[in-house]
Structure 1
Amino acid sequence: MRLALIGAGRIGKVHAASIDAHPDVTLVAVADAISEAAEALAAPRGAQALSVDEIFDDASIDAVLIASSTSTHIDYLQRAAAAGKAILCEKPIALDLEASKAAAEAVTHAGGLCALAFNRRHDPQCAALKAALVDGRIGKLETLTFTSRDPAPPPMDYLKGSGGIFRDMMIHDFDMARWLLDEPIVSVHASGSCLVDPAIAEAGDVDTAVVVLTTTSGCLCSISVSRRAVFGHDQRIEAFGSLGMLQTQNETDTRLKVVGEQGQVEEAPQWFFLERYAKAYRQELDDFYQSWREGRAPRAGLNDGVEALRLAEAASRSLELGRVVYLEEL
């Protein structure tokens, strides 16, 4: 696969490292609004720094990975699809649900492969939990619990354009909930507070939130998020069923535990998502490549992006109205 990367910022660099590690994917071009950033990422890899127009016009480029700012995603998705490129796009499709639905329909109508970058589906622990659920290891799933905490809030400039904690941060948990529950979600109830930084409240957002999802069968899913965890990136899932329980744990650098007179001592969790999900990003790229090679659907597609955003929209509305919001309202 000859692949072009659009976006040379923080997440673009993460994807570039995954491309470097893949034996069958070659980075041939990089585009960015800041030409110097594109050149800095492209040159050491023997790739070209091109404009977005040049990438879409180059028939020798098989695929594009869209890692630019959210506001550009819809335009680049539609142009890439029209150019016949396979597409891997960072989440979200857009911050607006109706615009996301329209873009997804347009790209789907154009045909071709389009994967959405919900990297947690590709994490080894999360994938193993999904497989165990499918195999019936814990019987009927009754409750699903997510803990998702960042070590510290992102810069305020980022927060102001992020779409809020539900669309920006919790959207990964919404996607994982849909994937693991594997049945329709009928209602969303959200509560939120600003406990970390008053400036976040001034920007119209919360930094601490709990959301409860209810499915058609009555299965309950709770998601607890915070913009602050002083010990590192706190990422855990518990699935409780009629025959037992499944859990994913925080990752540390070595998983070493020391037991002695001082008690049990373990390493702190890995600090941020860049470390915690390094393997997931590599697996995500490989799933995209294998989907392209085999002509099959990717593990996460455009509809998954739309539905995760629908849950984020419901959570935002629930917090604003102070009541349960039913998905049929959206």
Structure 2
Amino acid sequence: MTTGLTRRGVFGVAAAAGAAALLPGGTAKAAAPMRNELPPAWHRFKWGEFEATVISDGSLPLGKPQDSFVGPGANQITGLLAGEFLDPEAATLEQNILVLNTGRQLLLFDTGMGESMGADSQMFGPTTGRMLANLRAAGIQPEQIDMVVATHAHCDHVWGLVDARGQRVFPNAQVAINEADVRFWTDDANKRGPAFMNAFIEGAKKNLNAYRDRFVMVRNEQEVVPGVTAIFTPGHTVGHTCYAITSRGRTMVNTGDLAHHQVLLLRHPMMEFSFDTDPKQSAQTRSRMLDRLATDRHAVLSYHFPWPGLGHVRKAGEGFDWVASPMNVTNLG
């Protein structure tokens, strides 16, 4: 016997059931209040002998994508975003901060926007600056951090080093960073060009200078600590650095801001980003490094890709695809 139910009929039954629940004499009462708050955002997994935890600093809205992504392929932005069910009128990035427990040291890769620069700390809106709350929710206290490893000295990566009073947020931590970035972003002579440069430099000075006596200058292709190797990837900033994390023969690369968008800058790696110090160099570095990641099939943790930023890069035509795969690397067993 057939029921004769069609797709439209199924939806009709569901709608009728919902309406019945609201009729007098039904069991439904007043609706539960809206929570209007986000749950703690952290994601933990094993990587070889290491334990990794991704902490969210919140979303970072850029506004109209054509204002940030320019150059080769920019005329395809609307179609690319719409084709991936993304808003073609607004680009929103995530901020995925890695905490790595090597068994000897506890490392924090970047710090998010923080609150050190007052109103400027919310230049991208009120959804950023959640790193500390989520860090504590994951069971990690700031005083436990042995080293902050910075990919570069932009606001959304180092402005969480100090608090609004200029006090160190991580009182026991060293700061590992490329020396070229320290010099560039603490030099008032570089307050030129785009309007954001003044705030970026003032913020870097306030946050980095508080740790001047605790700097560890990273070197290309050399270990920062055992199992963590710096990879010089200049362009986005003069000293932008990725970090390869290797344990038990498995490598995951923390790519920082190598690519800000999982569609636009992978499909068109030579597209440029308006916050790059050297857009041409950044595009060349990105294309070369993405090819290396795809060829070597290393896992990737991307700072700005969709939460929690874990996955792989694979070649696709003239560009690359992002394959999100948090479950493939998640294993607490």
TM bin, normalised by shorter chain, reads under 0.3
1 or 2, which has the higher helix percentage? Answer: 1
Q: Which has the larger radius of gyration?
A: 2
- Structure with the larger RCO, 1 or 2 (CA within 8 Å, 6+ apart): 1
TM-score (norm 2): 0.27
TM-score (norm 1): 0.27
